[in-house]
Amino acid sequence: MIKYLDNSATTRPSAAVMDAMRLAMTDGYFNPSALYKPAVQAEKRMDDCRVLIQSKLGAKGRVIFTSSGTEADNLATLGCLSQKRTGGRILYTAGEHPAVIESCNAAVTLGFEAVGIPLLANGLVDLAALERLLTSDTLLICAMQVNNETGALQPLQAIAALRDTHCPEALLHVDGVQGFLRLPFQAERMGIDSYALSAHKVHGPKGVGALWINPRVRLQPRIYGGGQESGLRSGTQNTPGIAGLHAAIATYPARHAMRDLKLRLYEHLREAIPTLAVNGPDPYSAQAADHIINISFAPVRSETLLHALEAKEVYIGNGAACSSRLGKGSHVLRAMGLSNQRVQSAVRFSLNPFLDQQEIDEAVSEVIQSYQLLKRYNRQ
């Protein structure tokens, strides 16, 4: 039986999601921009999803549907900067997803300054360094909710407090792709200005995401056309995908055992392989996400271990799925100051709320066996 522990890369769509999407394609296929009743009903179903997202974020504001979390991040960053004067400063944590880092780098070509905020050795943002970087001309700060590689929970309230002290007009964007639904979140109360999410990370379909923005945010669209999504994201909406997103949110378990299972996985691995090293916050700490843990199994390289486990139908990750084939090593782990060997031997386990203890135990057993075998032949 497959043991899938790479849920930060993507998740399996749930039965409720597939049913909702099937119905949207067979019965609710109408264009939501049309004026007749079935089309108006399709639009109403989209708006129901917006309201559900707002309720999960504890905020009103606006919800804009996109094709992905990446597009949502790009719209939040480049879309807001197009409304600002050039020459201002953009700050982003050094462990951000490439969707944020590359959009900030693209802003440099438009006349802005983009600066990475250093990370501490545990993957959390260096707040003292951030405070030194905050200037009166800071326009945008990007800080993810949960790091997709290490599971580090960034101190968003502390970041917002520093922003309020030094540059209160600066916007704070949060990539919530790995945090949405896994953690309680109150966007308005926390001082967040925009928040990106993705359906396929929470058992919804690929090809749909969303961006929440608070009322003070002004965006310039990145896609032009018929003026859908309040003129901010033209193109006929992906109604089956949005139906799937709605179902994923509505059926995501309010209670789960991911933290207990993550710690069980860690404890059994540590008992059998005491030389392993955790990359990120202490797994037991409040700064560690329930569903992600990153571990180095030196001297075995991550790719070697991954392929050995693949042969046993155990699937884990070695960083961001979108950049894992580039062969450059994790920019997140390097930003934490880890050694080359530690980076090259790092793998990520990421869980979902539907896993059980037996699946974890079977996966752990295969990891231990594979590591013990590979270690004998490693020449590092």
Is 49 one of the annotated active-site residues of the chain? Answer: no
Q: In angstroms, rounded to a whole number, what is the distance separating the alpha carbons of residues 215 and 195? A: 13
Domain range list for the chain: 3-11+254-377, 15-251
pTM of the predicted structure, to 2 decimals: 0.95
Q: In angstroms, rounded to a whole number, what is the distance separating the alpha carbons of residues 18 and 275? A: 43
DSSP string, 145-205: SB-TTT-BB--HHHHHHHHHHH-TTSEEEEE-TTTTTTS---HHHHT--EEEEEGGGTTS-
Type of residue found at 122: N
- Summarised one tens digit per residue, pLDDT across range 174-225 is 999 999 999 999 999 999 999 999 999 999 999 999 999 999 999 998 899 9
Residues 154/124, Cβ–Cβ less than 8 Å: yes
Helix, strand, coil percent content, the chain, rounded in steps of 5: 40, 15, 45
Residues 117/93, Cβ–Cβ less than 8 Å: yes
Q: In angstroms, rounded to a whole number, what is the distance separating the alpha carbons of residues 171 and 261? A: 37
Q: What phi, psi does 15 have (nearest 5°)?
A: -60, -40
Per-residue pLDDT, 159:
98
For 63, 372, 373, the CA distances from 369, given in Å and listed in that order, are 47, 5, 6
Q: Do domains 3-11+254-377 and 15-251 have the same CATH topology?
A: no
Residues 61/186, Cβ–Cβ less than 8 Å: no
Per-residue pLDDT, 104:
95
> What CATH number has the domain spanning 15-251?
3.40.640.10
Catalytic annotation, pick one of 49, 142, 167, 322: 322
Residues 211/195, Cβ–Cβ less than 8 Å: yes
Per-residue pLDDT, 1:
83
Which parts of the chain have pLDDT scores under 50? 320-321, 323-324, 380
Per-residue pLDDT, 85:
73
**H-only helix segments in 58-126:** 69-81, 98-108
Q: In angstroms, rounded to a whole number, what is the distance separating the alpha carbons of residues 92 and 73? A: 12
- Summarised one tens digit per residue, pLDDT across range 299-323 is 999 999 999 999 999 999 986 445 4
Question: Does CATH number 3.90.1150.10 belong to domain 3-11+254-377?
Answer: yes
- Strand 194-198 relative to strand 171-175: parallel, antiparallel, unpaired? parallel
Per-residue pLDDT, 323:
47
DSSP string, 326-347: G-S--HHHHHTT--HHHHHTEE
E strand or H helix that includes residue 215:
none
Residues 235/228, Cβ–Cβ less than 8 Å: yes
User: Which tokens sit at 215?
Assistant: 């009322």
